[in-house]
Amino acid sequence: MQKEEIHNLIKGLINKITEVSGDIVVTEEGTSKITTWFSVETKTPYLFLNRDGEALVALNHLARRIVEAKTPSPFRHSPLAGGENPALPREGFWEGHSIMIDINGYQKKKIENIKAIVYMMAERARYFKANIEIDPMSAYERRIVHEFLADATDLQTESQGVGPSRRVVIKYIGSV
């Protein structure tokens, strides 16, 4: 899928899901190796941000599934799957790539808040030289924690628990 198609997909999903008043502006915010951020500006963000952003999570999930369905799978090019199929494009921008939709900066603020909490908890683990448990989080939020503390030589992170009570434990391992 091309970027313009994804812009139109996001606008279409938002219009179908809710009756948004005013214009919807979709811009590409930034691209990392695996994720491209799309920033949406709307006059009625509360439609997506109620209940801790539950509708925004659903919008992201829908958009990702649609993009994945319209993007050729790398497994279609596998010799195990019968080799090359010339009808399918070999390389696509979205192959192995994910998208993230942010409405009025909500996701970025949430990530910054998570990082601030994790920094505080990491300092607490260092000060007390003990393991510190963080409140339960979604898989995406736990991934942010693991990536944020990946370079810490004196700390280690581990997810523990099952289902909605799964949490990250910051373990103090001392200086290496």
At 91-142, the pLDDT tens digits run: 444 455 688 899 989 999 999 999 999 999 999 999 999 999 999 998 889 9
Distance in angstroms (rounded) separating the CA atoms of residues 77 and 98:
20
The end-to-end CA distance of the chain, in Å, is 45
| Structural domains of the chain, with CATH | 3-104 (3.30.300.20), 110-172 (3.30.1370.50)
Please state the pTM of the whole predicted model. Answer: 0.74
Concatenated DSSP letters of 116-176: HHHHHHHHHHHHHTS-EEPPP--HHHHHHHHHHTTT-SSEEEEEESSGGG-EEEEEE----
Residue 99's closest CA among 156, 147, 35?
35
HSE-CB for 25 with a 13 A CA cutoff = 7
Q: What is the DSSP letter of 19?
A: -
